[in-house]
Amino acid sequence: MAIKKISGCIGCGECVLSCPTDVLRIGDNGKAEICWPEECQLCHLCRMYCPVDAITIDPEKSIPVIISWG
Amino acid sequence: MPQTPPELTTRDFFLRAAAVFAGFPVLFMLIKGVFSGRNAYLEIFSLITITAWCLVPGQFYWFPGNRFLPLHLRSWTLARYHMVIGTLLVLLLCSHPFLLLLPKLFEYGISPQEAFFTMISTPHAGVISGIISWLLLATLGGTAWFRKLLPLRYHVWRQLHGILAFLVLICGLHHVLFLGRHITPLITVIFILFALAAAGMMVRRWFDIIPHAKPGRLPPSEGNTDRLKKQGHQPEKKEAENEF
């Protein structure tokens, strides 16, 4: 599980849309929740697309973000 | 034998006020762990924002209408303290939604403009109360800075200032409790107590629910005569004895 915690979520759903493996879903409380943690591929897209930086990726389990240059 | 209130210098007052209103959140954040995995900028930014929010109830205490503090401090010192802290708070709290987006300029992913639009267009209770409190805070700051340009008498403006501050407190508290990142049950209780104390002080001042002790001049003890000595004035002992 790479997502350490979600705090300060405003429930915009950007992380849900950006996650390629459906790890995150909007819960009953209107905020993002981790549904399938084992599916996380450490792509960091949820963190990068969160407008309020609510998602914290565990630095111990994280790997550098791979960015293509062309 | 009349009891004299404790003497307080401006420096003492500043340190005590900072310890009470800003010291608590820093303490609890340190207990909880300030650096919880996000980058240092966001954590320091959170710490400053929380400290600023905690000083908001304090503004209800150190304002010139307080009848207790002028016993210890000059009214002008108190008013200046209120103005300086208030200006800092308005600037910090009004800029915090934008400062939150600053790292987006240097990261891949969502752009700052898009993030801002997404943020303000999300129909979340905490976001709505945040927008309302931002508008109220900006109005509060604007009407305070440009008070002399407004076609209002001072007493009317003071009422308006108080009402706006009260609304900022309520909406801001809702926003903090719903969207605060470092909110724990203990911090929630502290914030609510701070807000209740601030509201209580304001209601007490407005309606005179609890009778105040009328302020009187302090006897010329050593601490209180410091500023008089600096001005080259020596109070006479007989005058002080006659007052009490």
Q: Is A30 in Cβ contact with B36 (below 8 Å)?
A: no
Same domain, B41 and B154: yes
- Among chain A residues, the shortest Cα distance to B175 is held by A8
- Give the pTM: 0.78
To the nearest whole angstrom, how far is the Cα of B129 from the nearest Cα of chain A?
Answer: 12
Banded pLDDT at B201 (limits 50, 70, 90):
confident
B109: nearest CA partner in chain A: A48
The reply to whether B3 falls in a domain is no
What residues of chain A have any CB closer than 8 angstroms to a CB in chain B? 4-5, 7-8, 10-12, 14, 30, 45, 47-54, 56-59, 65, 67
Domain check: are B206 and B90 in the same one? yes
Q: Where are the alpha helices (DSSP H) in B65-147?
A: 75-101, 112-121, 125-145
Instruction: Find chain B residues with C-beta within 8 A of A57's C-beta.
Output: 37
Does residue B171 share a domain with residue B69? Answer: yes
Q: Quick one: B76 and B163 in the same domain? A: yes
Structural domain that includes position B241: 217-244
Do B176 and B105 sit in the same domain of this protein? yes
Same domain assignment for residues B34 and B145: yes
**Claim to verify: residue B153 and residue B168 sit in the same structural domain:** yes
Fold of A3-57: Alpha-Beta Plaits (3.30.70)
| Partner A, chain B 33-72, Cβ-Cβ below 8 Å | 36-38, 42
**Contact (Cβ atoms closer than 8 angstroms) between residue B193 and residue B185:** no
Q: A25-31 long-range contacts, Cβ below 8 Å, gap at least 24?
A: A30/B124, A31/A6
CB–CB contact B110 A65 (8 Å): no
- In chain B, the number of structural domains is 2
Pairing relationship of beta strands A24-26 and A3-6 according to DSSP bridges: unpaired
Tell me whether residue B5 is in a domain: no
pLDDT for B243 equals 47
Judged against a pLDDT cut of 80, whether residue A46 lies above it is answered with yes
Of A4, A8, A51, nearest to B118 by CB-CB distance is A51
Statement: residue B235 has pLDDT above 90: no
Is residue B244 very low, low, confident or very high in pLDDT (cuts 50, 70, 90)?
Answer: very low
In terms of pLDDT, which residue wins out, B20 or A22? A22
Question: Which letter, b or e, does each residue of B65-92 get, where b requires 16 or more Cβ atoms within 10 Å of its Cβ?
Answer: bbeebbbbbeeebbbebbeebbeebbeb
How far is residue B70's CA from residue B53's CA, in Å, rounded to a whole number?
A: 25
Are B209 and B234 members of one domain? no
Same domain, B238 and B189: no
Q: What residue spans define the domains of chain A?
A: 3-57
